[in-house]
Amino acid sequence: MDSSAPLGFIPATEDMILGGVGKMIPKSPTLERLATFLGSYSGTDKLFMVIETTLKILVPLLNWRARFRHSAGLRKTPNSPVADRFSKMAGLISDSRMLWRLFGLVPIIKWLSAMERTPPSNRRLLTIERLQALAMLVYYPLEHLYYFGSHEVYKVPVKKLSTLAVWSCRAWAVYVVLHFLHLREDFKLLQEKETELARNAVAEKKVEAGDLVPADHAATRAEYKTLQRKRRALKLDLFVNLVNLPQCLHWSLEKGYFQNKHLVDLFGWLAGIASFTSGWEAT
């Protein structure tokens, strides 16, 4: 027996017993991508956002199904125990996500500092990003105060607690509205790059005039694909912003805007799916 073998196993036996599990797991680029994606705060938050909003959408459907089966005499009670568990799980995830955002102010401070030292090439983008960062400087502290107050870490009147939540969401709404302007500038810059790439390709005879897709030149084709990916990412970002806007509107009003809160949950679910898709593709 090899005395150097860990735990005294014969190497072949050790490989079979201790290494068996690892050998059954095939090498997978998807697994590596998933580990990278979920290894970041942003990726984990996007996944939990999808889970949370999916559970919130399923709750009323399960309750409706329970009531329907009860009225048809197929079950004893009109309540759905599964819906109750889903609702509790969604609340737990929502609370956890808010807790994890306690350090969200640090990247904003870093962003403010970085943009002054390495500003965007477009002056309008610089102004928009300054305003967005300042809006987040208001949003995070108010949300933190609301979070601690709601958990009675410090005493705060219920009315003041509601005020903190509303003004926090209004700061977020400012960010969302400004992001539409940011995306407009992003699309303009992307269009300029696409036009310049097509013009250069024609001038260097890499493609025929009027053909926007480079034909044979590998470098130009790679640039074009990069711009295509950028355009798709901007479209997803625009979609997320569009479904975030009604949520901002609802939570920025003391009595809300939508009478049906499930509609707000639907907007949140759409934002979660699009955000997850965008983050996954960028990984």
- Please state the rounded mean pLDDT for residues 144-159: 89
Instruction: Read off the pLDDT band of 223 (50, 70, 90).
Output: confident
Contact 79, 63 (CB under 8 A): yes
41-74 tens-digit pLDDT: 899 999 999 999 999 999 999 999 999 888 888 8
Looking at the predicted structure, is the pLDDT value of residue 216 above 60? no
- Please state the rounded mean pLDDT for residues 8-31: 76
Is residue 168, in this structure, part of any structural domain at all? Answer: no
Is residue 126, in this structure, part of any structural domain at all? Answer: no
Burial class of residue 28 in the structure, from the number of CB atoms within 10 Å of its CB (0-12 exposed, 13-18 middle, 19+ buried)? exposed
Is residue 215, in this structure, part of any structural domain at all? Answer: no
Is residue 52, in this structure, part of any structural domain at all? Answer: yes
CB atoms within 10 A of CB 227: 15
DSSP state of 197: H
- pLDDT at site 167: 96
Looking at the predicted structure, is the pLDDT value of residue 125 above 50? yes
Q: Rounded to whole angstroms, how far apart are CA atoms 189 and 120?
A: 12
Looking at the predicted structure, is the pLDDT value of residue 126 above 70? yes
CB atoms within 10 A of CB 19: 10
Looking at the predicted structure, is the pLDDT value of residue 134 above 90? yes
Strand runs (DSSP E) across 96-237, as ranges? none
- Please state the rounded mean pLDDT for residues 130-156: 93
Is residue 133, in this structure, part of any structural domain at all? Answer: no
Looking at the predicted structure, is the pLDDT value of residue 29 above 80? yes
Instruction: Read off the pLDDT band of 233 (50, 70, 90).
Output: very high
256-272 tens-digit pLDDT: 888 888 899 999 999 99
> For residues 208 and 83, which has the higher predicted lDDT (pLDDT)?
83
170-188 tens-digit pLDDT: 999 999 999 999 999 999 9
Range of the domain at 65: 33-102+261-283
pTM given for the model: 0.84
Is residue 55, in this structure, part of any structural domain at all? Answer: yes
Mean pLDDT in the chain?
87
Instruction: Read off the pLDDT band of 236 (50, 70, 90).
Output: very high
- pLDDT at site 1: 47
Give the CA-trace dihedral at 224, 230, 235, 238, to 10 degrees: -150
- pLDDT at site 30: 87
- pLDDT at site 278: 92
Number of domains, the chain: 1
Is residue 282, in this structure, part of any structural domain at all? Answer: yes
